Chains A and B, each alone.
Chain A
């Protein structure tokens, strides 16, 4: 890929308080691209996404978005600038209806619903079950339906970059396929995606490029189609383990 990336991190370090979880992460995401970030539990994938998104403290120069240093900008301002996130565990607003969850995003989006690519109507076409359940409290929905709402909520922020944290976690294979099926439509709308995923084959299929993380460091990167399973296994578990 050439040209200026829409989102990049530069020697990003970070963690929780005194505990350092990330050790100098470099990453580039170009317009319309999908990159996946794979790694075992505790590799630092979610911490990395949170650091990009202003939920954990980092230095300004460590995160560049659209040509500007934005590291440490609070999450709500990142949303206005065009970054949105589908958080791990969905984190929907309990006590509110499906449509109210969507409206919170519309209220604070980068662009008004009428000017953006994503509208409730378009999302109801993609996920017809949500139209049926739009007036129901979020807690009445199944896990897969809730994930559809979480993705819809993030898309209604009209992002240019979408960060997805483990969107397949705990869902049935059929539902995972349904959800992954809309990724091409998201990139076609000009939105780039960072996909954090534990399922390696899913991550390879859905992305252009792949980054593998181990203990807070990038251990492998390359085009998803070129990287061999053995190379991934070595990077995923650490080289010494992969030999055995």
Chain B
């Protein structure tokens, strides 16, 4: 029974990771932009949410309504003013630019919020749970998982069936040829990054509700997001969701074996996938 419990808790944890990973699936998996500041941007959004919650009595849903547009604006600005200038066939310039941004953001956050851990006030939803058989399931993690599932399905459908999705896939496949076919690559990339960071806005509020955040936490979120996208397979949105589940379950099982093994187990499974199926679980067939 305790293993079933571990798997269920792992799936719920995977729901949180999926919210981190979806934006990464879009930027890294599809557009091939390595955004080292991915986690730091999320932490920044969490800290903004925590500060806003102190002055705006809007409740958690209201906070999401405020934070997501801020996140969309940050994403659009990030792509328009920084990444569109360095993006190209060579992934190194964008990696270096976002690495610098990551360091700058961490120091900015330390300056504004100090190194203390913070979280959103416990509003009841974070501590509510229900019982299935002998297993307790938290309400908030279930909401997070459902949101992640809906977002994944939505984003996958957008990529497959909309004009924006086709244009983005075309630009990612061959930027110049996409321009020759009428796609404005810079504009479509700015929209895509706005969506990617917008999803992070939602994840940021949930992360601050679920646990604490501090300015230096970004790199862990970055690693989880990277691992989920690579386990799932580059370019596949559902792959990122599945990769997040694998990562969450591996961590929960590791945690059950020994409380110190959780994170390590996640990394080991990631290495195992890299060694045996480097293209990822759901990689597009070549």
Contact = CB atoms under 8 A, between A and B. Distances in A.
Interface in B144-189: 163, 166-167, 169-170, 173-174, 176-185
Instruction: Give the interface residue-count category, chain A.
Output: 20 to 34
Interface stretch (A9-17, A33-41, A90-98, A123-131): A90-98
Contacts of B170: 93, 96, 101, 104
Contacts of A137: 285
B235 A79 contact: no
Nearest to A80: B182
Contacts of A74: 179, 184
Interface string A80-122: 1000110100011111100011011101110000000000000
A20 B204 CA distance: 51
Contact of B183 (A87, A91, A92, A104): A104
Contact of A93 (B178, B184, B284, B286): B178
B183 A96 contact: no
A45 interface: no
Given A95-B235, A96-B170, A96-B173, A104 B180 contact: no
A101 B180 CA distance: 12
A100 B174 CA distance: 14
Between A55, A91, A93, A107, the greatest number of chain B beta carbons within 10 A of the residue's beta carbon is seen for: A93
A108 B181 CA distance: 7
A157 interface: yes
B184 A76 contact: yes
Contacts of B173: 93-96
B25 to A, nearest CB: 15
B178 A104 contact: yes
Contact of B176 (A55, A95, A105, A107): A55
A96 B166 contact: yes
Contacts of A105: 181-182
A177 B164 CA distance: 36
A139 interface: yes
A79 B285 CA distance: 32
A211 interface: no
B166 A157 contact: no
A76 B179 contact: yes
A63 B99 CA distance: 42
A147 to B, nearest CB: 14
B284 A104 contact: no
Contacts of A94: 173-174
B190 to A, nearest CB: 14
A87 B169 contact: no
B189 to A, nearest CB: 13
A154 B182 CA distance: 10
B169 A107 contact: no
Given A93-B174, A95-B235, A139-B286, A79 B166 contact: no
Interface in B228-284: 235, 284
A87 B180 contact: yes
A100 B166 contact: yes
Interface string A191-208: 000000000000000000
Nearest to A96: B169
A48 interface: no
A153 interface: yes
Given A55-B176, A139-B286, A95 B181 contact: no
A234 interface: no
A163 to B, nearest CB: 9
B169 A93 contact: yes
Given A93-B169, A139-B286, A55 B180 contact: yes
A104 B167 CA distance: 6
Given A79-B182, A93-B170, 11 more contacts: A76-B179, A91-B176, A91-B177, A91-B180, A93-B174, A93-B178, A95-B173, A95-B235, A137-B285, A153-B181, A157-B181
Interface of A: 53, 55, 74-76, 79-80, 84-85, 87, 91-96, 100-101, 103-105, 107-109, 137, 139, 153-154, 157
Interface of B: 163, 166-167, 169-170, 173-174, 176-185, 235, 284-286
15 contacts: A53-B180, A55-B179, A75-B179, A80-B182, A85-B180, A93-B177, A93-B178, A95-B235, A96-B166, A96-B169, A96-B170, A104-B181, A104-B182, A139-B286, A157-B182
